[in-house]
Amino acid sequence: MRSTPERLPARWGLLADRDFRLLFLGETASKFGSSVTTVALPLIGVVELQVSAFAVAMLTASVWLPWLVLGLPAGVWVGQLPRRTVMLACNVVSAGAFASIPLAAVLDVLTVAHLLAVGLLAGVASVFFTTAYQVYLPELVGPSHLVEGNAKLQGSASAAQVAGPGVGGLLAQWLGAVTGLLVNAATFLLATLMLALIRAPGQPPEPRLTTRPSLLREVREGLRFTLRDPYLRTLTVFGSAANLTLIGYQSILVLFLVREVGVTPGLTGLLVSTGALGGILGAIIARPLCRRLGTARSILLSHLAAAPFGLLIPTVGNDWTLVLFVVGSLLLATGVMVCSVVSASFRQTYPPPHLLSRVVSTAMFVNYGTIPLGALLSGVLASVIGLRPTMWAMLILYVSCWAILGASPLRQRVELPTSVVAQPAERGAHRGCSPLPLR
């Protein structure tokens, strides 16, 4: 593991470290491009191809569907490969996939099938990139800086998502929705360059044994460890249920704003971006919140306090009530980010090192595997009961996800355990956030 200096300049923290700064800049650029695509891709379907609500939901589902097929074995394969090499290859594939859409549009051969194929290919790349990234970050910054590293990266991603949807909406209004995909392809290439310039070699992959256990056995070990552990199991089940409901409303959000509420593509992008402001706020407050309340209580209270504000979103019309959309999106995203920062960093430090990539991929498989199901479910519901009732249904279900946390061992703790061997910790002991690097 790379040795990151224990004392970094207080003002800049990890941003004073060259290698982390390169990763930070590259991932910020990539997240900006991806956030442009979150608006541009459905707008291509809605405005350019005039597709149905179900087809728009299918576009969202296609990006996440590979997690259901490759999520578990990806953890085994990534453990046997250099993590940075995997990330570089995935960025290049994604850039080529998204660049093919504007080319097809110029040649007048763009179809919904092409969009779905690009979504699937980008989804496959995302499976391997995300798994490698979750393992690579602790290698790059070390456990003692993981809280800060995750908060800075997720905060920058949210900042990029503030500008991205707005830019995507304006590009769609002025130059056509396909232009946004060129922006995404360019940012993937920039992220590739930044990643290639990192000097730190990273931790070598797991040694190849002459008699290596079968793929199925290795997958089973990661799955068994995750599902048997009460903390990993709780956070994984909560994450999967939350993702199903969140993507359920997000997959039809652009369609809801354009067709149900009646706002322009440009304003749609701006409204979608307001939720990312909540992500920035959540990333800023996550670390001090953990220090004050403890890591376990931060997850419980952030969801309990913020999730109900999401119920403001389905109430909006094309008038002053759009303010309610902004407030609801902002506070909902704040709670989501705090939960994400805490649970992801716990997952990066809690398992034994030899199981890390498999535990990460298991959690990602379960969490992300429900995303295409949520998108398809919302597409079906929107076709049957309408867009606004579907928004209500998904957001009510998200609020109810707190029951998973409330019925778990988290309810009796202040802090999450720092590792498997750290259990049992003193019940109710408040040690602050520093022993547990969070994300």
Query: Could you identify the residue written with the tokens 């509420």?
Result: 261
Q: Give buried/exposed letters for 397-418 (b at 16+ CB in 10 A, else e).
A: bbbebbebbeebebeebbbbbb
Q: How far apart are CA 347 and CA 137, in angstroms?
A: 12
Q: Would you state the structure tokens that stand for residue 28, as one six-digit string?
A: 């910020």
17-205+214-422 has which fold?
Growth Hormone; Chain: A; (1.20.1250)
What's the pTM?
0.69
Helix (H, G, I), strand (E, B) or coil at 201: coil
Q: How far apart are CA 80 and CA 67, in angstroms?
A: 19
DSSP state, residue 416: -
pLDDT per residue, tens digit, the chain (439 aa), is 454 555 555 556 777 888 888 988 888 888 877 777 777 777 787 777 777 777 877 887 788 788 888 887 887 788 788 888 999 999 999 999 989 988 998 888 888 889 899 989 988 998 898 888 888 888 888 777 776 777 778 777 766 666 666 666 666 667 666 777 788 888 899 999 999 999 877 666 655 544 455 667 777 888 888 889 999 999 999 999 999 999 888 888 888 998 899 988 778 877 877 777 888 888 888 888 988 999 999 999 999 999 999 999 999 988 899 999 999 999 999 999 899 888 888 888 888 877 877 887 788 788 887 888 888 899 889 989 999 999 999 999 999 999 999 999 998 899 988 766 544 443 333 333 333 323 3
For residues 360 and 347, the answer to whether their CB atoms sit within 8 Å is yes
Query: Could you identify the residue written with the tokens 């590979």?
Result: 66
Q: Which residue pairs from 429-436 have beta carbons closer than 8 angstroms and sit at least 24 positions apart in sequence?
A: 430/294, 432/290, 432/291, 433/147, 433/287, 433/290, 433/291, 433/294, 433/295, 434/147, 434/291, 436/147, 436/290, 436/295, 436/345, 436/346, 436/349
Q: How far apart are CA 398 and CA 387, in angstroms?
A: 17
Closest by CA to 346, choosing from 76, 153, 146, 141, is 146
Q: Give how far Cα 200 sits from Cα of 9, 22, 206, 270, Å.
A: 20, 11, 18, 38
Q: Would you state the structure tokens that stand for residue 301, as one six-digit string?
A: 């209270």
First-last CA distance in the chain = 19
